[in-house]
Chain A
């Protein structure tokens, strides 16, 4: 899961054009600056990189609301 954490952190930093070091792992994604378009860019990355369609997964907000929660959900779905 550590690897997924790092990959998500790097990708989100890239989407937001900011340094990855400054990103907090456990705060809501919208507080990091993600909006609808950037959230969808992240979902596109997750689908192409992990083969997981989060949009259709029916996940609740708490499952995807922070980088850590998102990583946990991705790992769970990969192992399912």
Chain B
């Protein structure tokens, strides 16, 4: 529900972008036609959030039967401004309150193009957006028929009374975890002196080669353990955060909300729309950052204890109670800075081994806008044996020296 309030506060932090770098050129006209055919299968695109008074937001399906459409924009740019173009696209507000997805085709060279999907988080989370794009890919390839697409969520949500009971039942676990992690923490955060002036997301994207990824993953195995990518990457991100010039001599804690996808494993089109993410809350004393082994162990230990207590799922249930808060109160709660930086990972991309429109996928990037209150975020994805790291920050909070220091610290961890 908190995503529903972000749209009202200006857009930054409520939209993200997935970019496919394709080895070849998509036919513009054919793609436009495919997208409009595809859109017709999703009446959910004509829906929107609604409320009972100022409470209980829900998704209202469209009453009329107009066929949904999705905007496709085409950009022809020089190669040296491709990245700037991608930044501009994700920072461009949607044209209306009822527009939730936009496609962009970016042509900059004779032999490749970029396909971008900008999406509103009220309708899709990162994994859902990949599924949405994969559905389109399969439709274009002819491996799935439009009439066979059933992407509507199961209508088996618990009754509202049960949601309230589950929410209260989860409150103690949530309260204890948040209390340990956040309250009285002396949280270190980025300088907000310029907060009111700039509300634009900036990005750095770095994809490791297959060999570099193997080296990095071997370090994960050696220093954190088998399948311990998340605590290792958190430790690396914390170390990198500590290299920011303005933070170097500060003492206090790093508070890091880290999103996790609660979808069952395996692909189900019914899990495409809406959000399936919950959160871990990690807290690290800034003094520990200097000790690499201790830092990794601290993240592993908190990861284990929060998983054992069932925190991510209980947090999700607890958040259902937020639906009963009056909207102005909820917006006020969202306005305080509750993190040093944010962290997320979608793991292995659904496009592993896939093509799009018959073209090989050279790379896939996630470019999430982070809420302005947080100011900085790290995001990871993997495709075809290559790890991609994304750093996003609110324009103005990091200088070029800081960005370079953060990137180098992370890659060299």
Asked if chains A and B come from one complex, the reply is: yes
Using a CB–CB distance below 8 Å, which chain A residues touch chain B?
15-18, 29-30, 33-41, 43-44, 47-48, 55, 61, 64-65
A17 touches B265 (CB 8 A): yes
- A30 vs B300: C-alpha distance when bound (angstroms): 18
Contact sample, A vs B, 16 pairs, CB 8 Å cutoff = A16-B264, A17-B266, A18-B265, A18-B266, A35-B227, A35-B229, A35-B230, A35-B347, A36-B229, A37-B230, A39-B227, A40-B304, A43-B304, A44-B307, A61-B225, A61-B226
Ranked nearest first, the 6 interchain pairs of A and B with the lowest CB-CB distance are A17-B264, A36-B230, A39-B227, A16-B265, A33-B265, A61-B226
B231 within 8 A of A: yes
B231 CB contacts on chain A under 8 angstroms:
36
CB distance from A60 to the nearest CB of B (A): 8
B28 within 8 A of A: no
- A11 vs B47: C-alpha distance when bound (angstroms): 39
- A38 vs B265: C-alpha distance when bound (angstroms): 10
Contact with A along B222-251 (1 / 0, CB 8 A): 000111111100000000000000000000
- A36 vs B272: C-alpha distance when bound (angstroms): 22
Residue of A nearest to B221 (CB): A61
- A40 vs B347: C-alpha distance when bound (angstroms): 15
Residue of A nearest to B263 (CB): A17
B303 within 8 A of A: yes
Interface residues in B256-296 by Cβ distance below 8 A to A read 260, 264-266
Interface residues in B323-371 by Cβ distance below 8 A to A read 347
CB distance from A72 to the nearest CB of B (A): 15
B266 touches A33 (CB 8 A): yes
- A64 vs B228: C-alpha distance when bound (angstroms): 13
B95 within 8 A of A: no
Q: Are A55 and B225 also in contact (CB < 8 A) when A18-B265, A44-B304 are? A: yes
Besides A37-B307, A40-B307, A61-B226, 19 other A-B contacts (C-beta < 8 A): A16-B265, A18-B264, A18-B265, A18-B266, A29-B226, A33-B265, A35-B227, A36-B227, A36-B229, A36-B231, A36-B303, A37-B230, A37-B312, A39-B226, A39-B228, A47-B308, A48-B308, A55-B304, A61-B221
B266 touches A16 (CB 8 A): yes
Chain A binding surface SS class: helix
Q: Which of B226, B229, B264, B265 has the most CB of A within 10 A?
A: B226
CB distance from A46 to the nearest CB of B (A): 11
Residue of B nearest to A30 (CB): B227
Q: CB within 8 A of A55: which of B230, B266, B300?
A: B300
B265 CB contacts on chain A under 8 angstroms:
15-18, 33, 38
A48 CB contacts on chain B under 8 angstroms:
308
CB distance from B34 to the nearest CB of A (A): 30
Interface residues in B41-97 by Cβ distance below 8 A to A read none
A41 CB contacts on chain B under 8 angstroms:
307
Q: Are A40 and B303 also in contact (CB < 8 A) when A16-B266, A17-B265, A18-B265 are? A: yes
- A34 vs B265: C-alpha distance when bound (angstroms): 9
Residue of B nearest to A35 (CB): B347
Q: Which of A18, A36, A55, A64 has the most CB of B within 10 A?
A: A36
Q: Which of A37, A43, A64 has the most CB of B within 10 A?
A: A37
A36 touches B228 (CB 8 A): yes
CB distance from B229 to the nearest CB of A (A): 5
- A2 vs B230: C-alpha distance when bound (angstroms): 31
Q: CB within 8 A of A34: which of B221, B227, B260?
A: B227
- A16 vs B231: C-alpha distance when bound (angstroms): 20
B304 CB contacts on chain A under 8 angstroms:
40, 43-44, 55
- A65 vs B228: C-alpha distance when bound (angstroms): 12
- A37 vs B299: C-alpha distance when bound (angstroms): 12
- A64 vs B264: C-alpha distance when bound (angstroms): 23
B225 CB contacts on chain A under 8 angstroms:
55, 61
Residue of A nearest to B306 (CB): A40
- A35 vs B227: C-alpha distance when bound (angstroms): 6
CB distance from B232 to the nearest CB of A (A): 9
- A39 vs B221: C-alpha distance when bound (angstroms): 13
CB distance from B258 to the nearest CB of A (A): 10
- A29 vs B226: C-alpha distance when bound (angstroms): 9
CB distance from A40 to the nearest CB of B (A): 5
B264 CB contacts on chain A under 8 angstroms:
16-18
CB distance from A71 to the nearest CB of B (A): 15
